[in-house]
Amino acid sequence: MSLRWLPNAISLMRIALVAPILWYITQSGFELALILFFIAGFSDGVDGWLAKRFGWGSRLGALLDPVADKLLLAGAFVTLMLTGHIPAWLTGIVVLRDVVIVGGAMAYSWLIAPVEGEPTRISKLNTALELLLILFVLSRAAYGWPDAITITVLGAAVLVTVVISGVDYVWSWSRRAREVRR
* Domains of the chain with bracketed CATH: 6-181 (1.20.120.1760)
**In whole angstroms, what is the distance from residue 64 CA to residue 50 CA?**
14
Query: What's the pLDDT band for 177 if we cut at 50, 70, 90?
Result: confident
**In whole angstroms, what is the distance from residue 22 CA to residue 118 CA?**
28
Using the predicted structure, report yes or no on whether residue 162 has a pLDDT greater than 90: yes
Q: How many CB atoms lie within 10 A of CB 67?
A: 14
Q: Which of 68, 20, 38 is nearest to 138 (CA)?
A: 38
Q: What is the pLDDT of residue 49?
A: 94
- Are 76 and 37 in contact by the 8 Å Cβ rule? The answer is yes
- DSSP-derived 3-state class of residue 180: helix
Mention every residue, 6+ apart, whose C-beta is less than 8 A from residue 112: 176, 177, 180, 181
Q: What is the pLDDT of residues 10-68, one digit of tens each?
A: 999 999 999 999 999 999 999 999 999 999 999 999 999 999 999 999 989 988 999 99
N-terminal to C-terminal alpha carbon distance within the chain: 46
Using the predicted structure, report yes or no on whether residue 129 has a pLDDT greater than 80: yes
Q: What is the pLDDT of residue 113?
A: 84
DSSP 138-178: HHHHHH--S-HHHHHHHHHHHHHHHHHHHHHHHHHHHHHHH
Name the residue with higher pLDDT: 19 or 2. 19
> DSSP label at 1?
-
**In whole angstroms, what is the distance from residue 67 CA to residue 129 CA?**
18
Q: What is the pLDDT of residue 111?
A: 87
Burial of 104-135, coded b for 16+ CB within 10 Å and e otherwise, reads bbeebeeeeeeeebebeebbebbbebbbebbb
pTM of the model: 0.93
Q: What is the pLDDT of residues 55-96, one digit of tens each?
A: 999 989 988 999 999 999 999 999 999 999 999 999 999 999
Using the predicted structure, report yes or no on whether residue 117 has a pLDDT greater than 90: no
